[in-house]
Amino acid sequence: MKVRSPISTSAMIASSKFLTAAAVLMLPALALSGQTMAEKTGRPAETQSPASEKPQIRIEKRTPAYWRVTFDNPPFNIFGPETIPQMEKVVEQIEADPNLRVVVFDSAVPGFFLTHYNFTPPLSESTSLPSGKTGLHPLPDMLVRISKAPVVSIALIRGRATGVGSELALASDMRFASKENAVLSQWEVGAGFVPGGGPMARLPRLMGRGRALEVLLGSDDINGELAEEYGYVNRSFDDDKLDPFVDALAARISGFDRQAIADTKRLVDFASLPSDPEIGAGWDAFIQSVQRPVAQKNIGRLMEIGLQTNPDIEARLGHYTQTLADK
């Protein structure tokens, strides 16, 4: 689908199929120039650890059958175009290893599981990314592949799972959260655009239509206890009990027959997963919505007050999107 953009038309139409969240969300700052969002707003460009310093994602192979995949991109575990190639390698390894049975996604950054897309890199870093194996943009492509892999995926949520973080959790087979320290949210509607990683397709299947709309349209923070009540996560635990439970469950499943796991998961997937076109339709809606003036204005305002640089804004994003509506 070709999308008209307020940036120079020929360059953007040629690459619109492959736009990422960062590419589109940077449009407010890029409409009149080639500047990054950070340059436009005067914010420091390096709000995250540069990719050249260390990997943002690491794999710990606790056993051949049980891996931990840990996000470690301080200070906020923001996910950007520099993260996508690293995540693609992780997903490829998950799909290819014949011994793997269980993978647990967790975080090494206090207060943040995985958050929204990085708005500071140059536009070209996002528009140059090719589509993935499913034909979808690489971000929804990886989420679809995680859901369909013959491996059990578990999200261990401590800290904020916002935007991409929530969408990764929803793509995982199971989600377990800290009662005290987990926060899940789809904040996008509060900033004037549509979420792009598939939550409209996944959330109604987990919690029903009404609650899904409350989460998506309310665009507010959901703590671990309420997330359990709504079905956003499987269960929430006192923080000191979260890791032991997830570790024990992962270790238990990793000892079972791989083919039995894969066959059982495949049949559950058949009954419960959204189709690839459903996920793709959400991405197309996202692409269109973030180009509207209201979305461009809101993202610019959030960047100006300190999105990606101010810990309070990252920790209370639901509050700050409400301030946009109040003005």
Q: Are 113 and 164 within 8 A, CB to CB?
A: no
Structure tokens at 90: 């992780």
Nearest Cα neighbor of 178 from 119, 232, 221, 240 is 240
Nearest Cα neighbor of 61 from 256, 259, 261, 254 is 254
Spatial CB neighbours of 163, under 8 Å, sequence gap ≥ 6: 21, 115, 116, 117, 185, 186, 187, 188, 195, 197
Q: What percent of the chain has pLDDT over 70?
A: 81
| 3 state DSSP class of 30 | helix
- In our burial notation (b when 16+ CB lie closer than 10 A, e otherwise), range 238-258 reads eeeebbeebbebbeebbeeee
Rounded CA gap, 327 and 319, in Å? 13
Low-confidence ranges of the chain (pLDDT < 70): 1-53, 122-127, 326-327
In this prediction, residue 268 carries a pLDDT of 97
Q: Are 184 and 177 within 8 A, CB to CB?
A: yes
Angle at CA of residue 257, ends 254 and 258, nearest 5°: 75
DSSP state for residue 130 in the 8-state scheme: P
Sign of the CA dihedral with 61 first, then 240, 250, and 271 last: negative
Q: Where are the beta strands (DSSP E) in 151-256?
A: 152-162, 174-185, 222-223, 235-237
Rounded CA gap, 295 and 164, in Å? 18
DSSP letter string, 244-276: HHHHHHHHHHHTS-HHHHHHHHHHHHHHHPPPH
Rounded CA gap, 72 and 54, in Å? 9
In this prediction, residue 122 carries a pLDDT of 61
Q: Are 154 and 144 within 8 A, CB to CB?
A: no
In this prediction, residue 124 carries a pLDDT of 62
In this prediction, residue 17 carries a pLDDT of 38
In this prediction, residue 286 carries a pLDDT of 82
**Domain layout of the chain by residue ranges:** 9-326
Structure tokens at 26: 């940077």
In this prediction, residue 3 carries a pLDDT of 32
Cα 282–chain centre separation: 14
Query: For 9-326, which CATH class?
Result: alpha beta
| 3 state DSSP class of 76 | coil
